[in-house]
Every structure is written in structure tokens, then in C-alpha cells.
Structure 1
Amino acid sequence: MSPRVAAIVVSYNRRALLQECVEALLAQTRPVDTIYVVDNGSNDGSREYLASVAAQHAKVSVVLSESNIGGAGGFAKGITTAFAKGFDWYWLMDDDAEPMPDALEKLMVSEDAARADVVALCGSVWGIDRRVQFWHQGAFDERMRLIAPTPEYHKAASFKTDYMSFVGACIRHEAIQRVGFPAHEYFVWNDDVEYTARLSRIGELRCVTSSHMTHKDGENRDATDRPRSLHDWFESRRMPAATQWKHACGLRNYVDMVFRHRGRAPLWAASLFAKRLARVLLFGDRRFSVIMLYVRYFQQAVGQRKFDTVRPTDWKRTLAKSDRTQPAASGVPR
């Protein structure tokens, strides 16, 4: 009997990208059995689109969240919902991912899918520039720093990896039974790395390189182009206050992940936060609110406070309030 596969898509206010993702899932050469779309409280027409497509396609199931619970909360909610139906595999992706027509087929017919010791699969992830985004899989060093694979790895039919992103991760049902669900409290960033690190403790993770997924986030973190001037160098390292809600959140989650898997190291964590704050003060908008955000998240990371994520809308209001009381200073020379 062919294994039953549920696709799980998490979306928030990106209707056009969501439509491209859903259409690609509906067009798979190896059909997906059910497509669960978790909508995180969108108000851009995404919900109306989902209601329409669900009315046309019985295999599309919409899971609504009344508020933005982040990617981490969305995947936890989606996996929990689909898991209760008892599929064999759960194929995860954000709304900015577009699987190629044979992406699922390549995963399911691979030798790795037939191995009982393989608990999760993924494919190669490509950017909109048609270059492989190597950082979606990789290895850990002794302190769980992420080491991306070299291009040679992608020349093999498949390779072993210590972690994989939720841009195409396909997880076996029995593995979820053993390790539980993703850390919903992470909100955004590193929830996929922490979760697949858990999976790697009970079995093998494999990247099937013939299966392709396009990731449309518009960023190539593996780009090697070097700044051509001092000004370009400063610009490439800018830390604008508007983005710090997610960067601070990601650092908090990374420290928590290391504590979970490698043991507590408060002094090491303090050094990471200190380095990040130094960079913010040198290259970012020097705002008291940004400093206090990192202090707050450091306390959460080391267990002094309960996880409590600042939502992007709340952060925007915080910055708007600070704009009315003090001017922002820039660390970029003109």
C-alpha cells in the first residue's frame, strides 16, 4: 500500500505566495493525500482564497488561528491536527516554498524512504536565483553551531544531515510519536533546527538531492559577494531596529536549543548576547527598547523568565512610540 502523506503549510498575510504553494501541491505527480493550511490570522484575502480552494478541492483542509502564533506555533498546530488522522508522512513548508511537480515523488520512491531507520527526509532547496540554498541542511559542531554542506554533498543521490529546515522536511509518523511536536513557544526561527535535532537522536535524517523545492524568501545566505567599499561593508551589517524582534527571538531560541541538547552554559549564552548587543550598538539603531528586548530574551533563554515573545505588530508599536520620544541614531557612516 502506498504511504499516506499530509502536506502542512503555514501562512500569514502572503496570499500570492500561498496560492503558488497550494497550486504546486495540488499538481504533484505523486499526489498528496491531504493539504493542511494553517492560517495565522491573515487579513490580506488569504482566508477568502483558502475558503474558495477548499470548496473546490476536498483534499485541502484549512486550520484557522485567530492570532499570529508564528511559524513555530503554526507548524505545531498543523502537525498536531494532521497527526490525529494518522498519516504515514508529514511534509512541511512555509507559504514561500514551491515544490517542483515531482518533489514528493522523488522523496517517496527514494531508497531512503524505504529504510526503517530513516525518520525524516528532505530535498534540495533552491532560491529564486536558481542556486542551491545550502543552509537548509547541515551538521552540528560541539556547540551546535550550524555547518552547511558543501556543493559536493549535493552531487550524491542523498546525504545524511543533522538537521533540516521546515522548507520541505518530510517526517515519519512513528518518529513524531517518539519525540513529540515542535516547540510552539519559539514563535519564529530555530524551531525546525531544534525539532529535527530531536529527530536525529532516534534515527537518520536524509536529504534526497533529486527532490527540489524553490524557496522565495528573496535571500541567499550563502552568497559570497564581498562589499566593494567601507560604506557597502557597513550597509551589509546593518541591524535596523524594525527587524530586531525576530533576530532577538532567533538568538533566544538558539541558546535554548543548545541548552536542551548540549547542556546549560550560562556564561557562553551571556557572551553570545553581549556580542549581538555590541553589533547592534555599532551597526544598528541605538534604541533603549532594542537593548531591553535583548535583555528580556536573555533572561528567557537562561530560564530566569518564562518564554514570552514580542509579536511583530507589538514591536512596531513600541518603535513608533519611541520615535515620538527620541530620534534614532544610525551606526552607518555617510
Structure 2
Amino acid sequence: MNTRTRSLAYGGAVTSERENLAVVIVTFNRPELLRELLVSAARMTRAPRWVVVVDNASEPATQDVLTAAAAAFPEGTLVNHRLERNTGGAGGFHEGARVALDLGADWLWFMDDDVEIIPEALDLFAPWMERFGCIHGRRYDVDGTPFYWQAKFNQFLGVPLPYTVGSFSSDGYAVTNSGTFEGMLIHAGVVRRIGLPDSRFFISWDDAIYAWLAAQVTTVVYVDIFVLHRKRVQRQVNLGIRHLNDASDLTRYHMMRNRAYVGRYFDVHGQLHRVGFAIGTALTFAKEIVRLLLVERTLRGTRVLVTGWRDGRRIWRDRAWEPMPPLAGAPTIEGGPWQEV
């Protein structure tokens, strides 16, 4: 069968051609990194239909980069979508997904602005797009070595635990229920079924829970192909099975506060183990203390962690809280891999 015209379905509802893909980038005040990413996007051997850039109310230099980059793409490919306020990564991907769906995208490839795309990425993804509805490729680190990749939620603790390369099957993939917006490739039918990314997270846990939601309706996988190259240098400590990178107080706060959002989603789906989740939250706090000690060499961020934990209690008590709703036209999904038409 010609892979350029192959169509797939959820429960018999036919989707459009696989190549109708939008790269969705969220950026905030990193114009040089964005420029390098857009250069790599323009050099892809299989071009995306759209490159949607959500500018999270950056300084003018970001718009200068987007204006200059437009000439490298066919007319209408580069979509410059500037927000009036910074909505965080979660808000940016929420808006980027909405724009991509409005354009008519059938696949959405989410990524931050601090990576470059391997030229053959979409060719490498192609056979996996025949089989799965939510896919993650691998990433090279800044120095060109394989980047630590995770993870799969331990459902009892509610925390993502790391994979190793040995977790790949002989077929070259590993099934997961977690993920990252630094490279998540997801079918529009899945997005419509689980709703847009939840902007309330602002940053932290938003991508992990989004892949978890996807895993409730389709198969989510990591595949043993390298598709991105990380570009942002961070302080880090190598613990062998994983790295601990530096983090800001803003990230630390949301790391703890957003545990409540994760728990609320688990609860809605009947998969919350309250005792285990409390233990997982305590372990998350402990991990952030270790990060402070080993990477930052300080304990000054401890108060921020406590504040985030405390504010999360308000989310637990919010009787008006609701999950993100499915979108209009959401297909009925039985779960498992794609069905061929």
C-alpha cells in the first residue's frame, strides 16, 4: 500500500492523510534557540504542512526571528501566533493545539523551543504512525550523547519512573503512559477525544498527564529512533539511570502544586490510590530537595516547594474543578493500536 495515501481510523471513523502534520512550538524569550529550531524545521527531508509557533508574549526579538524565518518556508506554512500574556508551556500548547486543529492538522508534533529537529525525523516516524496514536522519539543531549528519557507512571505512587534503553522491545518500542511535550507526536483524533492540553498547569506535569490521558484511549509509545537534538545547556548531575537538571523556583512551585491536578485527573478516571499518591507526593518533594542539594547546592528553594504543596491542597478542595472536556467531533475509541481501514 502506498504510505502516502494510507488512512487510519478510530472505530471506523476515517481520518485524513498522515502527512497533514503540524509542528507545534511554544517559545518564550529564547529567540536564538527558536531561530535554530526554525532553521532545522525548514531543512526537514519530509516537510510538515504547518509549523505553528506560539509566542508566549515574548520580547520583540522573538517576532523579529519569526519574520525573518518566514522566507525559508512555503507560503502559509509558518504560522505566527502571538499571545498577549505568558500562559506557560501548558497554556502555549493548549493554544497551539487549538490553532493546529483549526488549520486542519491530522497529526500534531509538540516541542519546546530549545531543540533542533533531525532532518529525517518524519521519515523515521512514518512506519510508527501506521500503528500508534501517540509517539515519542528519542533525543540527543547537547553534547550529542543520548539524552536520558523517561518514563512510565507508577499508578500507585502517581510518579513517572524511568525507563532504560533495555526497555525497548525487540521491535524497537516501549509502551508507556507518560510523555513529554519535548517531542510528543499525537494524532488529532486522540486530541479531540481527551481535550486540549490543560492550561491550568502553567508548567510541570502538563505533558506527563496529557500522555497519561492519551494512554486511556490509545497506545502511547517511545520508539528507538532519534528525532530531536537538545540545544539548551543546563547544570546537571548524572545519577546513572537519570540526570537531575537545574530548575527555577517557578518550576519548583508548580512541580508541587500541580501534583493536585495530576491526582484530580487520576480520580476522575477511577485510578487514584490516595495513600500511594500521598507517598508519591512526598517522594516528589524529596527528589526536589535532592535536586537543590546536588545541583543548586542550596536549600533556599525549600519554602517554594512547601508553598506549592500547600496551594495544591486548594485544588483538591475545589468542588468546581472539572477536567478538560473532549472536543467537538471526538471519535469513539476502543483503546489499543490503530485500526486499519
Same fold, TM-score > 0.5, yes or no = yes
2:272 to 263, 271, 286: 263
2:280 pairs with 1:276: no
2:138 pairs with 1:124: yes
Aligned length: 291
Distance across 2 between alignment mates of 1:25 and 1:137: 26
- The runs of 5 or more residues in structure 2 that have no matched partner are 6-16, 322-341
Q: Counterpart of 2:338?
A: none
2:177 pairs with 1:162: yes
> Could you tell me whether the CA contact under 8 Å between 1:139 and 1:149 is conserved in 2?
no
> Could you tell me whether the CA contact under 8 Å between 1:137 and 1:165 is conserved in 2?
no
Matched to 1:276, the amino acid is F
Q: Deviations over 1:127-178 (max 9, x none)?
A: 1122323334434342222111112135852221221101111100111111
Distance across 1 between alignment mates of 2:309 and 2:129: 44
Shift of 1:223: 1.8
2:54 pairs with 1:38: yes
Q: Counterpart of 1:20?
A: 36
Q: Within 5 A, what are the aligned runs for 1:280-291? A: 283-285=298-300, 290=304
The normalised TM-score by structure 2 is 0.74
> Could you tell me whether the CA contact under 8 Å between 1:135 and 1:222 is conserved in 2?
no
Q: Deviations over 1:57-109 (max 9, x none)?
A: 3210101011111000000000011111221100110000111111121102x
> Which ranges of 4 or more aligned residues in structure 1 deviate by more than 6 Å?
236-239
Matched to 1:46, the amino acid is T
2:89 pairs with 1:80: no
Q: Counterpart of 1:298?
A: 312
Q: Counterpart of 1:144?
A: 158
> Could you tell me whether the CA contact under 8 Å between 2:140 and 2:228 is conserved in 1?
yes
Distance change in 2, residues 1:95/1:271 (3 Å):
closer
Shift of 1:44: 5.3
Q: Counterpart of 1:64?
A: 82
Shift of 1:222: 7.7
Q: Deviations over 1:198-249 (max 9, x none)?
A: 00001101222124211234348682279xxxxxxxxx9999xx93221121
2:249 pairs with 1:244: yes
Shift of 1:270: 8.9
Distance across 1 between alignment mates of 2:45 and 2:105: 19
Percent sequence identity over aligned pairs: 23
Specify the SS of the correspondent of 2:25: strand
Specify the SS of the correspondent of 1:164: coil
Distance across 1 between alignment mates of 2:177 and 2:309: 30
Q: Counterpart of 1:320?
A: none
1:133 to 112, 134, 147: 147
- The runs of 5 or more residues in structure 1 that have no matched partner are 227-235, 308-334
Mean CA deviation greater in 27-36 or 271-280: 271-280
Distance change in 2, residues 1:141/1:259 (3 Å):
same
Distance across 2 between alignment mates of 1:155 and 1:200: 18
> Could you tell me whether the CA contact under 8 Å between 1:122 and 1:164 is conserved in 2?
yes
Distance change in 2, residues 1:103/1:61 (3 Å):
same
> Could you tell me whether the CA contact under 8 Å between 2:94 and 2:198 is conserved in 1?
yes
Distance change in 2, residues 1:275/1:206 (3 Å):
closer
- Which gives a bigger RCO, structure 1 or 2 (Cα 8 Å, sep 6+)? 2
Shift of 1:31: 0.8
Shift of 1:267: 9.5
The normalised TM-score by structure 1 is 0.76
> Could you tell me whether the CA contact under 8 Å between 1:98 and 1:213 is conserved in 2?
yes
Q: Counterpart of 1:325?
A: none
Distance across 2 between alignment mates of 1:162 and 1:181: 17
Matched to 1:256, the amino acid is Y
Q: Which has the larger radius of gyration?
A: 1
| Structure with greater proportional helix content | 1
Q: Counterpart of 2:207?
A: 192
The RMSD of aligned alpha carbons is 3.4
> Could you tell me whether the CA contact under 8 Å between 2:209 and 2:262 is conserved in 1?
yes
> Could you tell me whether the CA contact under 8 Å between 2:234 and 2:245 is conserved in 1?
no
> Could you tell me whether the CA contact under 8 Å between 1:299 and 1:305 is conserved in 2?
no
